[in-house]
Amino acid sequence: MAKKSKKEQNPKVHKDLEGFKMNINSFGEISSSFPIDKINEFLNKNVEDKKLKDREDIEDIKDGNKEV
């Protein structure tokens, strides 16, 4: 039996990440079609950090009211 060839399809992504592509070259370096700052901004907005979710002072840090 012949193998079926896969079509080059874009994966389903969040609307803010349309056109996002990542590649890994032969040296193991990761390149992206988006700047890392934009990716981090998206992750901060849409993904909850499991390590920080139980901290009581996290709301103060997000609001800029960090007490020393």
User: For residue 50, what are its two tokens?
Assistant: 């499991």
Helix (H) or strand (E) run with residue 22 in it: strand 22-24
Determine if the pTM surpasses 0.95: no
**Which residues make Cβ contacts (< 8 Å) with residue 16, sequence separation at least 6?**
42
- The rounded distance, in Å, linking the Cα atoms of 3 and 18 is 30
Statement: residue 26 has pLDDT above 90:
yes
Whose CA is closest to 34, among 19, 52, 54, 24? 19
Range of weakest confidence among 11-15, 23-27, 53-57:
53-57
pLDDT of residue 13: 81
pLDDT of residue 7: 64
